[in-house]
Every structure is written in C-alpha cells, then in structure tokens.
Structure 1
C-alpha cells in the first residue's frame, strides 16, 4: 500500500509520516520528495541557468515517482510525502502508480499558520507555502483529508490509520485517472 500525503511545504507531511511509521501495524518506508532532491549535487545545480535548473528539477521529481513505483512493485508499503504543485506531477503519478494500491491524503493548513511555521523553521522563505496552496490541492479529490492546524501529527496519523481500515475499494487515484 502507498499512503500518499500531498500538501504544501511546512504543512506537516513529514511529521505525519514519522508518526505513521510508529502507529501502523506493519513496516512502512517514508519516501519524501525533499529527501530525494537533497541527494542531488547542490553545487552543480546552482551553476545552471533557469531553464536548465527547471529541467533538473523535473527529472528529479519524475525519477522520484518511478522510485516510489519501484519500491511498491517490490512489495514494500510506503508513506509518500510530496508537494503536487504542478499539474504534470499528479498526472505522472497517476500513470506510474497505476495498478498499485494508493490512498491519497490531502494535508491542509491555512496560509497564516503555514507562514508562522516557515518563520519558526528558519530554513524556508516565508510565503512560499501559501503560494503553493493555489496549485497543490487544485485537483480537488482525496480519499482522506487532515488539517494540521487543528490536529497534531499523531492525531492525523491515527485518523489516517483508522481510515485505512474502512477505505472504499475505489480510490481517488482511480477516479482522477478517469
């Protein structure tokens, strides 16, 4: 099974993923797009111009999607932590994860709280997450949704775990594929 968390930067996806690994009954891997991108050479990437950087980032995310598919196809259960801030990312996931059991979870947080978290973290530019809100949830359909401004990571993880026990056979990814 793939538990696919989608939300803006600083929405709480990684914290929920860490709690899910603790509360789920079987071993899961946490695959985060940020961690995947961090494997790339920062120095060489910074030497590139805008279009070249955009292409490297596109390939990184496309590769991440295929790594997720490969891990799941090998029989591993996964918690995926992603920011679907460009329409092609969701479309690519719908294609490469076809035939796999995906539970699509929307991770929501209001703009003012996102900005507060960005400032508190110190490693984020305030306002980036709020800008991502326009695109991250635009597809509009999830199997389950959580709000991290009203529930902590553990509560969200427990709610997701509870949902897994009663999730319908037809999933959001199936509907979004058409």
Structure 2
C-alpha cells in the first residue's frame, strides 16, 4: 500500500516548514515531515563546493533529485510524508515522474514578495535576493489541489485548512492534471 504525500510548494520563507510542523500534529496516522532543506543540510561540507562556487549547482541538483526519490521511497513503503520544497520547472517534472505511483496532494503555499523579503531579512540565514529569484518560478505551473496564503493566515490556520482538505475523498488530482492525464 502506498502512502500519501502532502507536497508543500512555495518560496523560501513562505511558511512551509511551520505548516509542516503543525500538520504533524493534525494529520491522522504517522506522517514524516521531510523538508528539502533538511536533506540539503545532511550533505558533508568537507570537499563539497559551497553555494555560489563552481561545482555547487551540480551537487545541489543531485541532492534535490535524491530528495525526490526519498519522498517516493517513504511513501512507497506505506508512510505518510509531508514534503517541503521550492520547485523549479524541471524539478516539478521529475516529481511528476518519480511520484507517479503515490497519491500526492499538491499544496501551494503563497506569500507576497514584500513579505518574503521582510521574513528573509528577519531570519538572516538566506542568501540575499533568494526570494526574488524563486518568486517568478515557484508557482509558474499554476495548478494545485489546495492553496493557502501565509500573509493572511497563520501556519496553524493553514495547517487546519489543509488537514480538513486532506480528509476529503478525491483530494488529489493536480499531479495527474500536470502530467496531462
């Protein structure tokens, strides 16, 4: 039996990790929260190119593709999974293929660019201009099963709405539509 994937997609600082933490308390049965950033932080730092240096993009790309396969593996074993991602178009294409056998509820986590900038400044742990680079592409595909805006609702409120949505039959269809099926 395949598990269910709640796939949170949004720009950095949009509130995905906060929503995922709340969902762990709300969703029935066991779910794993597996943020892409956590997988990225597991990589060794010794002899690994740093962000912005030659070779980093290739290492990062392999990390992200591996992350997609981790999500699929956990779900294929029957686990519930909460994914926390910032999708680029080619990563979405990879997810559509790799997660073909799993039920995926695709959730768009939105936040206006000025608020993302403010949050990133406040956090102080993100590269300058990250929100500007991600903002035009992260939601470019335009199709979700459910969407929320963290500038008008708290992470808890968004998680409650997502949990209610996930409890409904026929909850997941965006990945199939995006595949053209």
Q: What's the TM-score once normalised by structure 1's chain length?
A: 0.94
Structure 1: gaps of 5 or more residues: none
- 2:6 is paired with a residue whose SS is strand
Q: 2:12, 2:131 within 8 Å by CA — same for their partners in 1?
A: yes
Question: Post-superposition shift, 1:99?
Answer: 1.6
Q: What SS does the corresponding residue of 2:47 show, helix, strand or coil?
A: helix
How far apart, in 2, do the equivalents of 1:149 and 1:24 lie?
23
Match of 1:69 among 54, 69, 72: 72
Which whole-Å deviations, capped at 9, do the CAs of 1:103-133 have from their partners, x for residues lacking one? 0000000011101100111112343113201
Alignment partner of 1:30 is 2:33: yes
* Deviation digits for residues 1-48 of structure 1 (CA, Å, limit 9, x no counterpart): 100000000000000000000111211100110000101122422369
Moved more, 161-170 or 28-37: 161-170
Are the aligned partners of 2:6 and 2:106 in contact in 1 as well (CA < 8 Å)?
yes
- Alignment RMSD, CA only? 1.7
CA 1:101/1:130 → structure 2, altered by over 3 Å: closer, same or farther? Answer: same
> Who is 1:113 aligned against?
115
Give 1:129's match in structure 2, choosing from 120, 128, 131: 131
Distance of 1:30 and 1:78 partners within structure 2: 6
In the alignment, the residues of structure 1 paired with residue 52 and residue 113 of structure 2 have an alpha-carbon distance, to the nearest angstrom, of 31
**Cα distance between partner residues in 2 of 1:37 and 1:46:** 13
Q: What's the counterpart of residue 138 of structure 1?
A: 140
Query: Secondary structure, in 3 states, of the residue corresponding to 1:44?
Result: coil
Contact 1:28 1:77 in 2 (8 A): yes
Number of equivalences: 177
Which deviations, in whole Å up to 9, do the C-alpha atoms of 1:146-175 show, x marking residues without a partner?
Answer: 000000000000000111122536510000
